[in-house]
Structure 1
Amino acid sequence: MPPLVKIRSERDQMSAIERRIADFILDNAHLLRDYSSQQLASALGVSQSSVVKFSQKLGFKGYPDLKYSVGTAVARNGDGAPVPQQEPAADADVFTRLQDGLRRSKAAAEEETRSLNPRANIEAIVGLIDQAGKVFVCGLGDDGLFAREFAMRLSLLGLLTVHHADPILMMANLSAVRPGDTLVMFSEFGKLPQLSQVSRQFQACEGKVISITRHTANPLRAHADAALVISAHDPAPHVEQLLYRSSLQSLLDFVFVLLCQSNPDRYRQLNINLERIQQMLDS
């Protein structure tokens, strides 16, 4: 996992001193090569041993190992590395700069998301969905938009899919849950108590829960049987939301493609359903 992605993903579980070190590295990754452990400690008002322990806690041998890893990531235009930009001379330059910047940010967020979801985890989730008797899909607000589209795609594969945008109706529908059924729960921050309650009740019915959240510590992800996680970071809130949506869609598309490829019967059913829909549109 890229070092800055690892730091961001574990920040919520860090102590106050560790967060201070983490925030400095995330904001100044391109300058870290100029700091020794003592200089970094002095700049942040912490002990040198705190910097060393921070590095080791992240899995590095020590601070030099962390600094080298971050420097390598920055040299490769990795996450957190600022891209030098010239001041625009005209409106056309502003247009191009924004367009290229958003494209690079989306690509970086999607790459981080890929690195945070290892092959074994994704294949296990594909197996849970493919083998489920019924797949329940739930999401609220913006999450509900992705939940609805994903439920539609699962239906096209011949999976019996039940979509809910209301946790109360989902709770009422738990009587239909059977062992082996799967619930895919969309929640960007994973903190809504209603969704966690539905998740626990679903598991009490011997169903499996797959959470889809940001790569943060949250109740929904902590109690799920399997989890897909999304990485999206940007100083501008409106851009960060776009990065989240882009990374989430990319990950869902990959899961859908895997479902198509891993089961020939699903792929065959998809083509049949697409043909039926096309015939309806042509009539």
Structure 2
Amino acid sequence: MPPLVKIRSEREQMSAIERRIADFILDNAHLLRDYSSQQLANALGISQSSVVKFSQKLGFKGYPDLKYSVGAAVALASNGNGDVAEWPPENDPHGYLQVAEGLRRSKAAAEEETRVANPQEEVEAVIALIDAAPKVFVYGLGDDGLYAREFAMRLALLGILTVQHADPILMTANLSAARPGDVLLVFSEFGKLPQLWQLSRQFQEMGGKVVSITRHTANPLRAHADASLAICAHDPQPPVAQLLYRCSLQYLLDFVFVLLCHANSDRQRQLALNQERIQQLIDN
């Protein structure tokens, strides 16, 4: 897993000193190569041993190993040789090309981080749960609800019996129909809403399995789910970070959908049949 992704994902479980080191590295990754462990410790007002222990806790041999790994990740995120591409002002007076290229690179990097953050065995476990489930319940609020609804429709096209609601009261009422082996997909960007934990706990008490879809951070919903899908999307500009979350989420859902098609040939036949029926309705 890329070092910056690992630091972000484990930050909320760190001690106060470890979070200070993590935040400094995340905010100054491109400058880390110029810092020795002692210089980093001096900048943060902590001991050098704290920096070394932080590096080792992340799985590195020591600070030099961490610094090298971060430097390699920063270079990879640029144009391949560590230098950010420059656009001549006279050819791009309003920064149009620079913004377009920057957004393209950011999306590609976020999708790649998302892919790495979801190991094959964990994704396959989610696929197995959905494919074998008698019913799949899908739930999300707000913007999450939009993606939950769209994914529920895709599952239905595969012939999977799907129950989807954006209303917590209606979804709670529908839990009476849950049976052992059913799956609940919970979409929540930050995974911190209390009603989501309650809904998930009730579903598990009825013998169902919960799959969380959240940011790649430590959060209550993800911690108590039976399986999880993690979304990576980080940018210093909040509007861009939100866009990256959406594109990474869509990428991961598309990946899961394609894997579901490949996992069961009957699903592919059902998809083709449903698409034909829908086309007939449109034509008529």
> Is the 1:30–1:82 Cα contact (8 Å) retained in structure 2?
no
State the shift of 1:88 in Å. 3.8
- TM-score scaled by length of structure 1: 0.96
Q: Distance in 1 between matches of 2:117 and 2:272?
A: 32
Letter in 1 for 2:25: I
Q: Which runs of 5+ in 2 are unaligned?
A: none
Q: Distance in 2 between matches of 1:274 and 1:89?
A: 50
Partner of 2:168 in structure 1? 167
Deviations along 1:174-222, whole A, 9 cap, x unmatched?
1100110000000001111111101000000000000000111111111
Letter in 2 for 1:170: M
Partner of 1:271 in structure 2? 272
Letter in 1 for 2:36: S
What is the root-mean-square deviation of aligned Cα atoms in Å?
Answer: 1.7
State the shift of 1:84 in Å. 5.3
Decide whether aligned partners of structure 1 residues 155 and 214 sit closer, same or farther in structure 2, where only a CA change above 3 A counts: same
> Is the 2:52–2:62 Cα contact (8 Å) retained in structure 1?
yes
Deviations along 1:70-106, whole A, 9 cap, x unmatched?
122222226xx88354574476551111111111101
Deviations along 1:156-175, whole A, 9 cap, x unmatched?
00000011101111111111
> Is the 1:147–1:186 Cα contact (8 Å) retained in structure 2?
yes
Q: Which runs of 5+ in 1 are unaligned?
A: none
1:260 aligns with 2:261: yes
Q: Distance in 2 between matches of 1:5 and 1:267?
A: 35
Partner of 2:6 in structure 1? 6
Partner of 1:48 in structure 2? 48
Letter in 2 for 1:248: L
Q: Distance in 2 between matches of 1:125 and 1:170?
A: 21
Decide whether aligned partners of structure 1 residues 87 and 42 sit closer, same or farther in structure 2, where only a CA change above 3 A counts: farther
> Is the 1:9–1:215 Cα contact (8 Å) retained in structure 2?
yes
1:76 counterpart SS class? helix
- TM-score scaled by length of structure 2: 0.95
Percent identity between matched residues is 75
Partner of 1:127 in structure 2? 128
Aligned pair count?
Answer: 282
Decide whether aligned partners of structure 1 residues 85 and 13 sit closer, same or farther in structure 2, where only a CA change above 3 A counts: farther
1:209 counterpart SS class? strand
Deviations along 1:237-263, whole A, 9 cap, x unmatched?
111100000000000000000000110
